[in-house]
Chains A and B, each alone.
Chain A
Amino acid sequence: MKLSGSQKRQLRTDLWGWALASPLLLGLLIFTMYPLVTSFVYSFFDVNMIRPMENFGLQNYQAIFTGDYSADFFHSLKVTAVYSAIQVPLGLVLGYALAMFLNAACKGRGTFLILYYLPTLIPAVVSGALWGDMMNQQYGFFNVLFHDVMGFDKIEFQSAKNLMASYIWMTTFNLGGGSIIWLSGLRGIDTVYYEAATLDGAGGFQKFVRITLPMSTPYIFYNLVMGIIGALQLFNQPYILTGGTGGDGNALKTLNMFIYETAFSGLRMGIAAAMAWVLCLLVAVLTGLTFLTNRWVYYADEE
């Protein structure tokens, strides 16, 4: 077979391209595709480290939805759902408010932004341990401040009833991280819109509702999607905060923690793989729904 000059050139380009992109190709095959397929296969077998896969069937899915694992599975699912349903909107609203605040025309706002960003640099391992320390019943910072100094009743931050609320409160220290993304969005809004609105006699509130809010919807959308993906996979901080146990009454045992425990402490890898696929599906469905209902997002450059 004879190749024309342009075909030869294209073949050379293909070779170069695949050669240079081969790390990514191999990485996707070895560290994503192979494990993905394998874990799907695992979810239909009894798997542990000692014996090979045996007993093909739906028993793992049955175990998590109606069998031995269902109580703990639905509990963790509820923990994850409650956390996501509260933390994601709360983080969006407070983060946005903080960015609006920092967007004011006052000197020194850049310095404040950097300082507000600092808590997000605390590694999850440290913040998990630190928040456990701050919420400690006996010597924790908050109880010393509220009880010993101010004279209020002691608060059981880590009891089964309060742990989730305490943890969500702790996440507000990280608001500065999201604000950077919000701020770059707010600063990207053309001042022409505001000038025109002022000429038409619009007030501050109207400008916010009619200009600022619609123009920042792409950022709201981005933070919403990333927030959902992150919240559903919560692991590090609650794991460290509770010493790997999930806390009093498993109040902070997220789905990811329960899957991890089932796989690596219980060594029931088939059941863990089945749960991981349920989590995966959940993430896919929720982000898919967010994308499908994104008609409220306004893209200026699409018109």
Chain B
Amino acid sequence: MGKSSYKRLTGSQNLRQRLVLATLSATPVLIEDIRTDDTWPGLRRHEVSFLRLLEKICDDCAVEINETGTKLKFKPGIVMGGRNLVHDCGLTRSIGYFLEPLIVLGLFAKKPISIKLKGITNDSKDPSVDTFRSTTFPMLKRFGVPSEGLELKIENRGSPPLGGGEVLLAIPVVQSLTAVKWTDEGMVKRIRGVTFSTRVSSQFENTMVFAARGIFNSFLPDVHIFTDHRAGVHAGNSPGYGISLVAETTSGCCLSADTAISYAHEEATAGLEDEKKELMPPDEVGVQIASVLLGEIEQGGVVDSTHQGLLFLLCALCPQDVSKVRVGRLSPYGIETLRHIKDFLGVQFVITADPTTGTVMLKCVGCGLKNLSRKVS
């Protein structure tokens, strides 16, 4: 075994993306300066949990963390996948945090992954599990991911701070993705959505639906928002409520917006004021999330700002073929993703602004990643 050269990176930002790209491009990475100047330096609990998850689904993957957690050495292995895996995502970040990278890795695994993830299903920081079902999965299908075997089942919901949620995720494997030419955003033909409530009255959901629908009434009649009230063991350990909306267009694009309301984690509030912040009432939540969705619709693009990162990543992982996509304003996370893609895969996008619609067109030639581990039948 020769001495492998590590790619040197600094800072704690975009850890998930770096590790995903490192794994897919088989580049060992050495990340230094991870929150060296923070009061609590080093890797956070969810980041370590994500590393453990990587170890779980990969073979021959080596993770070394120094004593303070400010330095991370990561040697990627081969994504194996496998059935009936279980991972506890902890309570510092929601399951959405783990789903994004897991889905991309799962596509290029040796065997299809089916895994049970435990933790928080809905919070305000990450896309909720409902959004993954309604928006992310249709997006994957555009890139040639088969719909059989692609599944996310919400067994139990869990809100912060105590979680208690459980989802079952299944991802099929692909030999390679297919390049897309996805520039027609179409017109919004319907709005769908789902609300949830755990350990609070189901009336909260009706109020959210009513408020959100009030906003959409001036645009189109086809608005259906379903409710998903959970009780008992299916409701997790903490009270919470939230809503996830998706706007479907005539060309089959899905734009999403979601949020969840619950009490904050105690650790997070301990350092600040000791008074508990008032929760946003459900009618305001409904109005707010409807406004966010309208904002996404207004700026145009085939995906919402939350999904830009994933969109670019999938484009870059396509075979050596031109992909062309249109987005609204570039989100900060999307820009970071573009930089990391260039860093690891050497794929540079051609980015042009379209002044008539205020959108941004991106073109790239994929890096031609193939799932070599899959048997050719």
Q: Do A and B come from one complex?
A: no
